A and B are shown apart, each in its own frame.
Chain A
Amino acid sequence: MKFGILINEGPFTHQASDTAYKFVVAALEKGHEVPRVFFYYDGVYNANKLSAPQADDRNVVKRWSDLAADKGVDLVVCIAAGLRRGIVEDNLMDGFRISGLGQLTEAAIGTDRLMMFGD
């Protein structure tokens, strides 16, 4: 099955990004496809390369970035939500790209299931 992922919350404050990550890893392991993860609302903070959690904690931003490098998952940050919150090319983590909300609509149209993570 082909899954699109929508992440609505930022890292650390909320578990949404952690749960989504675990879901994506599990889905890929089972042989499903996850062509795109779309970061919206405060979810755009998951792409902030200035995030520096303590060494004994999980690194949410780097974990997504590594997943993009290893599995070729397309990580898209909403440009409008990102601009509002100061997520721009200058502080964008490797593996993410900034694009428009049309990329979310596309994921809703082009996948079998769109999974939304947030409140």
Chain B
Amino acid sequence: MTEYNFETEGVKKTITYLNRKAPYGTIYALEVLESVLISAAFEQHANIVFVDDGVFQIKKDQDTADLDMKCFLPTYGIIEMEKEDADEDEDMDMNWRIIVEKESMEARGLTTDDFKIEVEVLSSAELADVLDTSDAVIGG
């Protein structure tokens, strides 16, 4: 077993978290969310992106009682708070963006009013630029 020590002090990268799956049915949404929360401690730039059925992850008024699964919708509020804290704290060099792809949202009959958290809506082409300028993409 080899434990590698990365030199991350003073390194600033942009990590995109790409949410592509519906919130329930598979575990990807929950486990991407867990990785976003942990990453906040590293004070990196981050794009939390919702595309395809991933846009349903942040839809308001979810009720998972009949699924017998924990509803993790409230946890997205923590991401929103982290973003707001980073935006307000001038000493913190951490820029977080919460992005929904326009085409995915519209194809599913959703508008920004349907979301639990405030989002930035970008077209597919604009999102491509976001991905292109990211240092790493972590998805599920």
Contacts and interface: CB of A to CB of B under 8 A. Distances in A.
Interface residues of B, number: 26
A102 interface: yes
A109 B35 contact: no
Contacts of A41: 27-28, 31, 140
A74 B3 contact: yes
A45 interface: no
A109 B140 contact: no
B93 to A, nearest CB: 14
B15 interface: yes
Contact of B137 (A35, A74, A104, A114): A114
B8 A106 contact: yes
Interface in A65-119: 68, 72-75, 80-81, 94-97, 100-102, 104-111, 113-114, 116, 118
Interface residues of A, number: 33
Contact of B6 (A35, A95, A97): A35
B4 A74 contact: yes
Contacts of B39: 101-102, 105, 108
Given A108-B138, A109-B13, A114-B136, A102 B6 contact: no
Given A80-B34, A102-B38, A6 B3 contact: no
Contacts of A110: 6-8, 11
Contacts of B35: 40, 101, 104-105
Contact of A116 (B27, B38, B44, B139): B139
A46 interface: no
| 10 cross-chain pairs, A with B, having the tightest CB-CB distances, nearest first | A110-B6, A108-B136, A74-B4, A114-B136, A101-B38, A35-B4, A72-B2, A105-B39, A109-B8, A106-B6
